[in-house]
Amino acid sequence: MLATADALARLLDAARGVEGRESVDTLDAGNRVLATDVSSPLDVPPMHTSSMDGYAVRAADLAGASEGAPVALPVSQRIPAGHAAAPLAAGTAARIFTGATVPPGADTVVMQEMAQVADDGRVSFAQAPTAGEWITRQGADIQRDSVILPAGTRLTPQALGLAASVGCARLEVVRRVRVAIFFTGDELRMPGEPLEPGAIYNSNRFTLRALLEKLGCAVSDLGIVPDRLDATRETLRRAAREHDLILTCGGVSVGEEDHVKPAVEAEGRISMWQIAMKPGKPLAFGAVRRGADTAESSETGEAFFIGLPGNPVSSFCTFLLFVRPFLLRLSGVKNVAPRVFSMRADFSQKKGDRRNEFLRARVNESGGLDLFANQSSAVLTSTVWGDGLIDNPPNHAISEGEIVRFIPFSELMR
């Protein structure tokens, strides 16, 4: 069995970015991956602006102002945000509002709380300001021609806002990764169908499809495939058409009714199988030949294949730890590693497993971690109760108060 780090390295080494890009409206580009750098065509802000409501002045005009000898200036103009400003005449002040353009000639802004308006409309200042106060300089946030979002960036809501702030109406993004997914098992039923003895509802279909869609994939759901070798092979051939990745769930173990592994070996290749992790040991990686279903096909190459175990927690954890980074790398994302946090275990686990364990845990009110009582790979409740996974090394018992490696689900789903 491969160590988890070695298995992930193999997957990422094999991943090659998909070809193809498209131009999309910035409003519709959420969660897409940039195909090209985004450079700013302008400074942000594009002019000097006031960061306070107050008065734009020349600092030299108030050099002698004090509590005992305030300086009064006439107000020569009023400048709301979004309006042009005329040059400031010497010996005058301009009423200015947050975000408004600082008039040429002014070199400081005095907060309105530090000024006193007289009955005649003049404004007096009892303190000499420092030049540059409360002015946001042109280009303070972004300078013209600088790269603000490099290629390979996954577009978060704040990244979309940043692109919009420099006037980008459209963005060049990598095309969506195309994933075909199917599920094996004669025992599987869909919610709403009657549940005969020995049957179970197919929870994995809902979990995995939602995870794929959250990652922005174009998903083809091929449904539930009978537990037969011929049916599995035919579905693999169909899935290889026009898809970048075939993802299956169940049937990758070594039982007589587990047909996915031999089907893939017949239609392509398996290059990795079984990982030293708990839950999720029977994870398979390989490829399926394109065009194998017809002699006249002009399709060439391969579709990647990842076979997940059928137990719901196993499929959930292996997706987050292996499929997610693989898909992000196919999309062109460079940094696919989740952040890992060092946190205190508020529990003890007297015996470690010989495999790398991923334990469902959640953060308690004192900032430590509580462990879900039942760590079985069939207990999907743990994934809803928990906030993330403890990455526990092989053969390691956890003592209460020990610092452990914790990967939040929020990191594994971003």
Under the banding of pLDDT at 50, 70 and 90, the label for residue 259 is confident
CATH superfamily of 49-136: Molybdopterin biosynthesis moea protein, domain 3. (2.170.190.11)
Q: Which residues contact 58 (CB under 8 A, 6 or more apart)?
A: 88, 90, 105, 106, 107, 108
Q: Give the percent of the chain with pLDDT over 90.
A: 90
pLDDT of 257 reads 58
Residue 152 has pLDDT above 60, yes or no: yes
- Domain locations along the chain: 4-18+175-330, 21-41+142-174, 49-136, 341-412
Taking the domain 341-412, which CATH number applies?
2.40.340.10
- How does pLDDT run across 398-413, given as a tens digit for each residue? 999 999 999 999 999 9
Answer yes or no: CATH 3.90.105.10 is held by domain 21-41+142-174. yes
> Mean pLDDT across the stretch 28-41?
96
Residue 256 — very low, low, confident or very high, per pLDDT cuts 50/70/90? low
Contacts of 365 by beta carbon, 8 Å cutoff, 6+ apart: none
Across residues 365-394, what is the average pLDDT?
Answer: 97
Give the pLDDT confidence of 193-211 residue by residue, as tens digits.
Answer: 999 999 999 999 999 999 9
The residue that leads in pLDDT, 26 or 253, is: 26
Q: How far apart are CA 238 and CA 285, in angstroms?
A: 18
pLDDT bin (cut points 50, 70, 90) of residue 140 is very high
The Cβ of residue 366 has, within 10 Å, a number of other Cβ atoms equal to 8
State residue 108's pLDDT score.
98
Instruction: Return the structure tokens found at 58.
Output: 């020349």
Q: What average pLDDT does the structure give for the chain? A: 94
Give the pLDDT score at 85: 96
Please report which confidence band the pLDDT of residue 294 belongs to, taking 50, 70 and 90 as the band edges.
Answer: low
Mean pLDDT of 326-341: 96
The pLDDT value recorded for residue 258 is 72
Write down the architecture of domain 4-18+175-330 according to CATH.
3-Layer(aba) Sandwich (3.40)
| pLDDT tens digits, one per residue of 338-359 | 999 999 999 999 899 999 999 9
User: What pLDDT does 344 receive?
Assistant: 98
